[in-house]
Structure 1
């Protein structure tokens, strides 16, 4: 009377003899709307639920952890403040910012915050509607920062993803941050 759960990203990874004897269940992440509804039913504010559901990446358990994680809220405010200030910084200040980011070396969720910032900038630039923004509490700053061409904003979002990939490949943290921040400072002129 035992049940074994075999988990894989691809069912093809299993031998055909195993696949012929199992029930395949495809499990997909929950939508951000589903998670936000769950958090609101649990008594959390709509705006906060909407924001945290995006950071939860389809996992209710992650959303519930984020609700209780004051450190994440502080990190989010810090990172978003740095991203808002980045365009007006000199290159020297941006290099110093890379040093500041070393405080988040063991918590790479700061890259999620950065990715969603640039996602919101692209959304604001393209759609010009706040209803599609994830970080609605920062809508004024987002619309102010969304002045750059969409292609440049997409390039900046790609720079954050590239930094994440390099860190996953065990690249030097400080150097990776410096390169990413210089890409994020690019003005397209």
Structure 2
């Protein structure tokens, strides 16, 4: 039985619609979105994301990518981005990595992922069964989350959960 998705144990909130030109529920990630290290030869590029249906009181967003199937006992955080202004409802492909950071609003903050970097880190599962990559957009009721970029994904996640008004996700897979 697969591990539960991270939102399955959280308080229920209204759903956002999350769409992408690059990824789809249950479909295999393109190599563009795979890590480029640890024996992987991907593009390490974050996918395009677009969302709608946020409550009127939304004051900011957070975007996360989590692998609940990683053999760590605690999953693996691939992307933790927060303090995205409420006026932003779309991120282009590559917004989470390298020189494309320039497309992010100045207020947006990357926290460390489980690779130890402050950016999107692509899929890199060990050989075997497919892993799920849960790309979640969280509509938040605060302008600023109140944590800095050195916070762990768990601390950022705690603060996201405490301030979430709505959330939605898209869950592609990847295996080697």
Q: Taking structure 1 as the reference length, what is the TM-score of the superposition?
A: 0.28
Greater helix fraction, Structure 1 or Structure 2: 1
Q: Which has the larger radius of gyration?
A: 1
Higher relative contact order (CA 8 A, sep 6+): 2
Greater strand fraction, Structure 1 or Structure 2: 2
Q: Taking structure 2 as the reference length, what is the TM-score of the superposition?
A: 0.29
